[in-house]
A and B are shown apart, each in its own frame.
Chain A
C-alpha cells in the first residue's frame, strides 16, 4: 500500500486492520504522533487528512487512500510550534503533538479565532496536566 505523508510518498506493507497511527509509528518511524487512549477519545494521535484533524488511532491505514496525511513532523516550520514553546503550553508534552495539529488546522481556517472558537476546535484534545489556559494563549498569540 501507499501513503502520502508530509508530501512524501511511502510504500509500505501492513495488514488490513493496522491503524494509521500504527503505520506512521511502526512502519515509517514517524513517532511524533502519539497513541494514548488508542480508542478515539483523547486526541493525542491527531493528524491532518486532507487538512482536517482526524484520529489516527481509529483510522484504518488502508482506508486513507490517496489523501494527504500531515503529521507533527510535517509542521516543523509552522509558527504554532514556537508559540506553544513561548507560551509554555505544556507540562509532560505527551498530548502536545495532537494539540499542535488541531491548533494548526484551526488557525489555517480562522487566523484570528475567538476564545469560543478555540475551545470548540480544541475540545477533542485532552490534556491531563491541565495546560489548557496556556494552550489557549499559544493559539491566541500564534502570530506574535
Chain B
C-alpha cells in the first residue's frame, strides 16, 4: 500500500481525510486499497455564512456560532472528542453502517450476498423504515441535520441536494451513496433557518451512535424533519405510516415519535 498526497481533486485511489472510518475498515479487511490519497490539502476547511468546507473537522463546527444549532448539536453529540478532532464533515457523511453483521463481514446484502442477517437475527439497533432489503441503520447525525437543512453539496464533479447523495441499496446495486469512485465532496451550503434543533437518543449519555436522531429545521411556517439511525440512509420524515419495525426494534418508533414531537415543539415559531 502507498500513501500519496492529492495535488488536485482528481483522485486515483482511495481518498483519506481524517481516517476515522477508512483506517478501521482497512485494518478489518472491509476496505482494500493499493493507493491511499490524502485529500486534506485539496478539500476546503473554511466556514463562512451558509457554507462549510467538507474538510472542516466536526470539533470546529461544534463550537462555531455561525453554524445553525441543528448542525452544531449534531456534531457535538457525534462520536468522541478525539474522533471529532480527526473526522471531517465530508467523511462523516460517507461513513458506513454500524450493522454488526456488515462490520463482521458476514455475506450480507451490502457485501453482495443474498441475505439480510439482521432481519432474522439481532436487530435492536437497526432500521425501522425501508428495511425490507437491508435493515442497516445509517449512523450519521450530521447527515440528518444537513438533510433537515435541505443542504446542497458541491463535489469535484457536480452539485446535488444532500438527499441525492444517498440511495437505498437494491438487488442490482448495493451502494448506499451515489458518489462515483474518486469523486470528492468539497463543500456544503444551506440557507439559514429561522429555528433548528437536534435531539438524539443513545444507548448511553455520550459517545454513542444514534438509536434515533431527530433534526428539525423551521423556515417560516414550514418545518422539515430528518432522522438518523432509522433507515439504511438518512431519512426525511413523511409520517410514520411507512414504518415497518422488526420484532426487537419497535421501541424505535415510540422513541422517534416522542423526539419528533419535542423537536417540532422546540422550533415552533
> A residues near B, CB below 8 A?
15-17, 19, 38-40, 43, 46, 52-55, 58-60, 62-63, 102, 119-124
Contacts and interface: CB of A to CB of B under 8 A. Distances in A.
A55 B85 CA distance: 9
A124 B19 contact: no
What size tier do the contact residues of chain B reach? 20 to 34
Interface string B1-30: 111000000000000100110011011100
B83 A123 contact: no
Contact of B206 (A17, A60, A120): A120
Contacts of B19: 58-60, 63
Given A120-B206, A124-B207, 19 more contacts: A16-B2, A19-B23, A39-B24, A39-B27, A40-B20, A40-B23, A40-B83, A43-B82, A55-B20, A55-B83, A58-B27, A59-B23, A59-B86, A60-B19, A102-B82, A120-B81, A121-B81, A123-B81, A124-B81
Contacts of A16: 1-3, 36
A43 B16 contact: no
Contacts of B86: 54-55, 58-59
Interface in B89-113: none
A58 B31 CA distance: 14
Contacts of B27: 38-39, 58
A55 B16 CA distance: 16
Contacts of B79: 124
B3 A58 contact: no
B85 A52 contact: yes
B82 A46 contact: yes
Contacts of A124: 79-83, 207
Given A53-B81, A53-B85, A55-B83, A123 B206 contact: yes
Contacts, number: 69
B82 A53 contact: yes
A63 B206 contact: no
Q: Which 5 pairs between the two chains have the least Cβ-Cβ distance?
A: A124-B80, A123-B206, A58-B23, A52-B85, A123-B207
Contacts of B1: 15-17
Given A15-B1, A120-B206, A55 B82 contact: yes
Nearest to B80: A124
Nearest to A52: B85
A112 B78 CA distance: 24
Nearest to B207: A123
B228 interface: no
A19 B207 CA distance: 23
Contacts of A120: 76, 81, 206
B74 interface: no
B80 A54 contact: no
Contacts of A119: 206
B38 interface: yes
Nearest to A51: B85
Contacts of A53: 81-82, 85
Contacts of B26: 17
Contacts of A59: 19, 23, 86
B36 A54 contact: no
B59 to A, nearest CB: 7
B80 A43 contact: yes
B6 to A, nearest CB: 12
22 contacts: A15-B1, A16-B1, A17-B1, A38-B27, A39-B24, A39-B28, A54-B82, A55-B20, A55-B86, A58-B24, A58-B86, A59-B86, A60-B3, A60-B19, A60-B23, A62-B3, A63-B3, A63-B19, A122-B81, A123-B80, A124-B79, A124-B82
